[in-house]
Structure 1
Amino acid sequence: MTEQKSATTYNFRLRDSLLGAQMLFVAFGALVLVPLLTGLNANVALFTAGAGTLLFQVITRGKVPVFLASSFAFIAPIIYGVDKWGIPGTMCGLLAAGLLYAIFALAIRIFGSDILHRILPPIVTGPVIMVIGLVLAPVAVHMASGRTGDGSAWLVPQTSAYIIAGTALLVTIMVSLLGRGMFKLVPILCGITAGYLTAVVLDMAGISASIQASFDPGPLKNWTAPTLVSMQKVASSPWFAVPNFSLPTWNLEAILFIVPVAIAPAIEHFGDVLAIGGITGKDYVDDPGIHKTLLGDGLATSLAAMLGGPPNTTYSEVSGAVALTRSFNPAIMTWAAVSAILLAFVGKLGGFLASIPVPVMGGIMVLLFGAITVIGINTLVRAGTDLMEPRNLAIVAIILVFGIGGMNFDLSIVKLGGIGLAGIVGVILNQVLPNGRSHERVAEENRDS
């Protein structure tokens, strides 16, 4: 009974500030990973994570102990969007994605939560999640081998890159498998740290310079250097600096491409809310209501997009920390949000994060994008979906081929393709295709006849 009361009471106490900072530490590796992978500003991501969490608390009346930060689900469309439309155009699509959450929240308030499951069942969300992970597989391989995301130029000699990426990947896996206590909650941060330290050791031992001297770039551009880690940006960055905010600009093509991606994290939001409710012993689906938590998540995403930050989502790492520390007071997340906002104004932090060698991120991406794909597969498995049933086979097959193959339609006023097209087509097919008979039922009917 005491535990239940502590889970529902918001007490803003100064002594909780250290707990809040600890929660930010747990989220930090994943939080800054998204901007580092997508070309967004890490300091802006910190600011929008803090501001988004505060907005979420206002909308949910400070009842849910969650921290909102960079969403992995949007990595693929952000990378594509920044390359095609620039950051302002991409932010327009992300702003609209946040507003889609608001539409879902309104629909849930009017029709109940079952409306989303009818429109977006696992047969649609599962393969869409898989596409999100698989589309970026080549980018992960390129960066892990020391090249740019598109594979057109060398940033790090391949031998050095494999050593760094392999270390980051192996440490991330081992910490996630064998870590105990707080370490188990920060495998990505441990992997990034290990990869970074490996690069520093290679530099200090002269190994990276030796490898670079004998490196043959072949036909690709060679942007490698004798050292893997440069502190030039750290030295030139001021201690205090206002984050480099970026306002969105109107781009209909970006909206149609990115908005369908919000389907997957919107559905996953249910699981996140149920998970934190199971930890604290409170039914947040009922109070403050799943429509309010989804609205808070969506508006936090739109707020981030208005400032040039990545979309926000609830962090399972932080929920794990809540379970581990038994710190149920939602005000602790207020301290975490305030800490993130203050840290966003430390200019040298951005310079330090920019010094992380590309293969470190590449090693993490190999695991990350594969994991996203597996989550999509698991979505179908847990739903007990019969993929050999003709209707299901058609929906999954078309979503995967359209998304991974890069199918696109030029509608004169806008070009629709990739993940966005795959998601839209999946929703449409699920609504229009009639329910067919499964192979088992057909076999039974044949035996009976």
Structure 2
Amino acid sequence: MKHEAALSKYSWQDIFTGAQMLFVAFGALVLVPLLTGLNPNVALFTAGVGTLLFQLTTKGKVPVFLASSFAFIAPISFGVAQWGIPATLGGLVAAGFVFMFFAFLVKFNGNNVINRILPPVVTGPIIMVIGLSLAPVAVGMAMGKDSDLPAENYQLIIISMASLVTTLAMAIWAKGFFKLVPIIAGIIVGYTLSCLFGIVSFQPVIDAPWFKVPDFTFPTFQWQAILYMLPIVIAPTIEHVGDIMAISSVTGKDYTREPGLQRTLLGDGLATSTAGFLGGPPCITYAEVIGAVTLTRNFKTRVMTWAAIWAILMSFVGKIGAFLSSIPTVVMGGIMVLLFGSIASVGINILVKHKVDLSVSRNMCIVSLVLVFGIGGMIFDFGSYALQGISLCGILAIVLNLILPHHTKPTNIG
């Protein structure tokens, strides 16, 4: 009897801790669908299902929760504008198979194969382009451009900058648990100001039912969208390896060996393809939850199972999706300014951390061309298909890294 009571106690603790983990991931989890036009309730559902698939693939040994990487915001936004949501989802399904391909390479060639194919000189500038390519969009949203919100421009600026400053302050000065939820804090402040300025309509929330099956959207497959989306996986693959190494150092277990990097990559691939099939953003390992694990020292994978269950249950609450959709775009614009800048900073940090010498000609050429092609908007138009953006940068960086000779002579340019 005493044993059963203790078991029940720890089960309830796991349920509560799982809800807390979901809260940590919640802000960034719903930010991606809100910015890209995907359904936030579907994103909750696919994050839960994706996490459960990841746990099955990794034999329940890695305590992480899966949700969408910010690296996918720019390509999904472009894909939706270019080919529509169903075709973009088809590209995301294909992107999941790229994760699986990398898992295959790791299984038969070892963990170092990722670094051989995607060294820092390739991944650094690509991640910088991902962050900077939509910088004008973030600034435009923060300024209220092309907005039909019933407010003066100065009011929209106040809202977006308040969201930005709050997110920035929480990320830098907050302590403990609050340091893990800067995006939620920014949204709360921006949303509150939006209500005070009278630009929020609660009628859709009132009209929405409490129980509602998520509006799943199923993919169509267009080769243009697929080819565009495939190179996007480069950045999340590097992010994934870093996340697994980080959670390994926190728990004291080497997850790159057991269950193995091939299994964790396979889990990301299955979760991403499944999410794409149902209309959700890609699901991969998630830095915010790793931070929560570090803070709470809670290494139980069943906590992540409960977080996944909570996400699935919440996805059937219609009012949640309606409430999230009521958040003005200007609130998100303020947060995006910091968000896209932080992604670019990650790319810079990769170059610095790995001591990529830009006085070496090949390194300078790779980084320079990728940045100019990506930020400048270079397009290779082949008629029925145009190679541009992150896809062009990914292919360009990989090809240049393979064909340019390795030498140590410094460049004379500049």
Matched, 1:293 2:291: no
CA drift at 1:297: 0.9
Aligned to 1:83: 81
CA–CA separation in structure 1 for the residues paired with 2:398 and 2:286: 27
Matched, 1:373 2:332: no
Aligned to 1:47: 45
Aligned to 1:240: 211
Matched, 1:56 2:51: no
Aligned to 1:111: 109
Q: TM-score, normalised by structure 1?
A: 0.87
CA drift at 1:32: 0.4
CA drift at 1:201: 2.3
Select which of 309, 323, 326 maps to 1:352: 323
CA–CA separation in structure 2 for the residues paired with 1:412 and 1:141: 32
Aligned to 2:236: 265
CA–CA separation in structure 1 for the residues paired with 2:362 and 2:172: 38
CA–CA separation in structure 2 for the residues paired with 1:411 and 1:287: 45
Matched, 1:189 2:184: yes
CA drift at 1:154: 4.5
CA–CA separation in structure 1 for the residues paired with 2:166 and 2:387: 39
SS at match of 1:439: coil
Aligned to 1:95: 93
Aligned to 1:393: 364
Letter in 1 for 2:178: F
Letter in 2 for 1:378: N
Aligned to 1:198: 193
CA drift at 1:157: 3.1
CA–CA separation in structure 2 for the residues paired with 1:70 and 1:118: 26
Select which of 16, 31, 34 maps to 1:33: 31
CA–CA separation in structure 2 for the residues paired with 1:323 and 1:173: 21
Q: Which runs of 5+ in 1 are unaligned?
A: 1-10, 203-226, 443-449
Q: Deviations over 1:98-127 (max 9, x none)?
A: 110000000000011111111111111000
Select which of 252, 255, 270 maps to 1:281: 252
CA–CA separation in structure 1 for the residues paired with 2:228 and 2:152: 35
CA drift at 1:407: 1.5
Contact 1:12 1:331 in 2 (8 A): no
Moved more, 177-186 or 23-32: 177-186
Aligned to 2:400: 429
CA–CA separation in structure 1 for the residues paired with 2:379 and 2:157: 35
Aligned to 2:200: 229
Letter in 1 for 2:141: M
CA–CA separation in structure 2 for the residues paired with 1:95 and 1:314: 17
Select which of 14, 17, 28 maps to 1:16: 14
Contact 1:12 1:332 in 2 (8 A): no
SS at match of 2:64: coil
CA drift at 1:415: 2.1
Moved runs in structure 1, 4+ residues, more than 4 A?
A: none
CA–CA separation in structure 2 for the residues paired with 1:131 and 1:249: 27
CA drift at 1:413: 4.3
CA–CA separation in structure 2 for the residues paired with 1:253 and 1:140: 26
Identity %: 57
SS at match of 2:123: helix
- State how many pairs are aligned: 403
Q: TM-score, normalised by structure 2?
A: 0.95
Aligned to 1:5: none
Aligned to 1:67: 65
RMSD of aligned alpha carbons: 1.5
CA–CA separation in structure 1 for the residues paired with 2:128 and 2:389: 13
